[in-house]
């Protein structure tokens, strides 16, 4: 919901830190380090020792810091690339997908009551399903935009969704810090993503309907 507004704040915050990053360290190195930290957070979340949840939060925060820093370094040094953006997004998607599963696995291994296990994993499955559906919508639009002609859809500006990157980060942090609340957090997050899916679907269909009447520039906002 706040990603567009926070993007400028993020750039202003991390741009001064670029000078402390050695020249030999590339944006790709930072992306890989962020990915490793994210996987480490997932592994700590799966541990049977509840104290590992603290380390999971630390590693997750490191992942977020490095994920912001790699883009700042790339833009400041003019080292942006399609490959770098792809790998950055891919690593984020992997960590995001594994995070709820890892926390649920940790809760199960730490002795979750059998009567609660089915409900927990149902909520995890639903949340993961909403991730995939939401990603399909976004990538379908990206593919459509890349193949547009002058007589087709020339611009689709997505309305901010209820749950975007910033909100997802908050949810994942809460999951790692308070794994006992995972069941409630996953249902809440899934509901938020579903609202975004419904909103974007309506906007897309409305834009397609408008194209039949007046082909040209269609802006969904």
pLDDT band at 62 (very low <50, low <70, confident <90, very high): very high
State how far the Cα of 150 lies from the Cα of 221, in Å rounded to an integer.
20
β strands within 105-169, DSSP E = none
Q: Comparing C-alpha atoms, which of 119, 103, 116, 120 is closest to residue 50?
A: 103
Sequence-ordered list of residues with C-beta below 8 angstroms from that of 173, at least 6 positions apart, any chain: 57, 60, 61
Query: Domain containing 50 — which CATH number?
Result: 1.20.120.1760
Percent of the chain having pLDDT more than 70?
A: 83
Structural domain contains residue 218 = no
Count of C-beta atoms within a 10 Å radius of residue 220: 18
Domain housing 142: 1-213
Count of domains for the chain: 1
pLDDT band at 219 (very low <50, low <70, confident <90, very high): low
Token code pair at residue 35: 């990915």
**Region 18-45: what's the mean pLDDT?**
94
Q: Comparing C-alpha atoms, which of 46, 184, 89 is closest to residue 127?
A: 184
**Region 113-141: what's the mean pLDDT?**
91
pLDDT band at 157 (very low <50, low <70, confident <90, very high): very low
Structural domain contains residue 77 = yes
Q: Comparing C-alpha atoms, which of 214, 176, 205 is closest to residue 99?
A: 176
């Amino acid at each position: 919901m706040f990603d567009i507004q926070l993007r400028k704040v993020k750039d202003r915050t991390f741009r001064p830190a670029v000078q402390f990053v050695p020249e030999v360290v590339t944006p790709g190195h930072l992306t890989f380090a962020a990915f490793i930290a994210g996987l480490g957070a997932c592994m700590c979340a799966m541990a049977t020792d509840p104290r590992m949840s603290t380390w999971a939060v630390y590693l997750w925060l490191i992942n977020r810091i490095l994920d912001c820093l790699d883009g700042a370094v790339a833009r400041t040094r003019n080292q942006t690339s399609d490959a770098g953006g792809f790998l950055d997004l891919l690593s984020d998607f992997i960590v995001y997908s594994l995070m709820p599963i890892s926390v649920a696995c940790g809760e199960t291994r730490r002795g979750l009551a059998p009567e609660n296990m089915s409900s927990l994993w149902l909520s995890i499955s639903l949340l993961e399903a909403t991730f995939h559906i939401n990603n399909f919508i976004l990538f379908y639009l990206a593919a459509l935009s890349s193949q547009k002609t002058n007589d087709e859809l020339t611009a689709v500006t997505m309305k901010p969704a209820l749950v975007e990157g910033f909100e997802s980060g908050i949810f994942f942090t809460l999951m790692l810090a308070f794994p006992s609340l995972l069941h409630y957090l996953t249902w809440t997050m899934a509901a938020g993503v579903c609202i975004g899916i419904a909103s974007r679907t309506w906007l897309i269909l409305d834009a397609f309907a408008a194209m039949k009447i007046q082909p040209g520039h269609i802006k969904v906002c």
